[in-house]
């Protein structure tokens, strides 16, 4: 794509709008910090998902609100004076902090780094919670979109889980979960709706798995659930069945009823494999058996009979 041509000679407003959208989406989704796009009149146009963990306010709730609603009364004049300078002076960016009204009606002091973009006619802000700095080293092990533990965390913790199970002579279940219909949501409603779907899916997984295990996001629409103390297939089938049922319940995303589902493959330690890689491979194969069989269900790994 010729960016210079797009910016200087392209006369198609839809193409330019699409370019700005992709640019903004990438910045919001890839940043490890709270980020916000705020209109020139102070309205939250878009935010990423990190706000909910810090403030208790979800992405959907914050969008459309006005910044002034969340600034402590004693901080408002100073904050808006600093933001106005970005428009009227030659400074490229500014930093400030103020007490932000959170979900619990309490104020938390947040540090803001802000620029104003004339091309977008909006403020672009990255926001830090000083009280969370001690937890910064944990970000490497957390999926920044959903808040679940990520692939790196799975790779580091699963060997220990298996070692403990071997010592206790107990069984571990690994569930490979792939969403059905996720691509269609992205294609029809856009990446923002797709991200919202992934966040809601992660919440449902955590609710079902609860204290029985842990859910991880591998990437895209692929997830793993590990049940470290799975007594028998009946127990595992109960958890898997609840996941299938919960994940096929329709979602209301920006006024659209979204219907998806999930295909689950299950592998058992030590029956199906005795290594982390072997378990994930066996669960992945079982998941694809479900896909081929009609999706929206679960299945245990089956050892193929030799010819």
Q: What is the C-alpha radius of gyration for the chain, rounded to an integer number of angstroms?
A: 23
Assess contact for 263 and 256: CB atoms under 8 A. no
In Å, what is the CA distance from 241 to each residue of 182, 183, 203, 303?
20, 23, 16, 22
Contacts of residues 234-237 at CB distance under 8 Å and 24 or more positions apart, as own/partner, are: 236/173, 236/175, 236/266, 236/268, 236/300, 237/298
Per DSSP bridges, beta strands 149-150 and 214-219 are parallel
Helix or strand (DSSP H, E) at 256: strand 256-258
Is-contact 66 43, C-beta < 8 A? Answer: yes
CA-CA distance, 175 to 264, in Å (whole number)? Answer: 6
User: Does the annotation count 46 as an active-site position?
Assistant: no
- Give the Å distances, CA to CA, from 271 to 7, 30, 122: 59, 39, 57
Return the bridge partners of 222, or none.
Answer: 178, 219
Helix (H) or strand (E) holding 19: helix 13-30
Active-site position among 221, 272, 284, 289: 221
Neighbouring CB atoms inside 10 A of 134's CB total: 8
Tokens of 183: 């691509």
CA 12/CA 2 separation, integer angstroms: 14
Distance CA 257, CA 2 (A): 37
Angle made by CA atoms 203, 204, 207, in degrees to the nearest 5: 90
Active site residues: 221
């Amino acid at each position: 794509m010729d960016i210079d041509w797009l910016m200087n000679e392209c006369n198609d407003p839809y193409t330019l709008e699409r370019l700005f959208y992709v640019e903004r989406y990438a910045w919001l989704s890839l940043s490890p910090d709270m980020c916000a796009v705020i209109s020139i009149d102070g309205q939250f146009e878009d935010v990423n998902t990190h706000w909910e963990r810090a403030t208790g306010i979800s992405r959907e709730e914050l969008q459309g609100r006005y910044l002034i609603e969340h600034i402590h009364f004693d901080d408002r004049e100073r904050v808006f004076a600093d933001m106005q300078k970005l428009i009227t002076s030659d400074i490229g960016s500014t930093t400030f902090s103020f007490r932000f009204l959170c979900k619990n009606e309490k104020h938390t002091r947040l540090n803001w780094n802000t620029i104003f973009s004339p091309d977008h006619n909006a403020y672009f802000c990255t926001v830090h919670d000083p009280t969370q700095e001690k937890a910064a080293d944990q970000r490497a092990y957390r999926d920044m979109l959903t808040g679940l533990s990520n692939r790196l965390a799975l790779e580091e913790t699963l060997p220990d889980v298996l070692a403990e199970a071997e010592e206790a002579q107990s069984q571990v279940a690994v569930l490979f979960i792939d969403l059905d219909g996720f691509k269609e949501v992205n294609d029809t409603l856009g990446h923002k709706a797709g991200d919202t779907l992934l966040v809601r899916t992660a919440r449902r997984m955590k609710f079902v798995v609860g204290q029985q295990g842990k859910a991880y996001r591998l990437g895209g629409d692929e997830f793993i659930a590990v049940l470290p103390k799975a007594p028998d297939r009946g127990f595992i089938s109960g958890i898997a069945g609840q996941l299938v049922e919960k994940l096929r319940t329709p979602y209301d995303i920006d006024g659209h009823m979204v219907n998806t589902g999930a295909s689950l493959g299950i592998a058992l330690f030590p029956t199906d494999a005795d290594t982390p890689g072997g378990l994930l491979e066996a669960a992945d194969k079982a998941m694809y058996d479900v896909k081929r069989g009609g999706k929206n269900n679960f299945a245990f790994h089956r050892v193929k009979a030799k010819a």
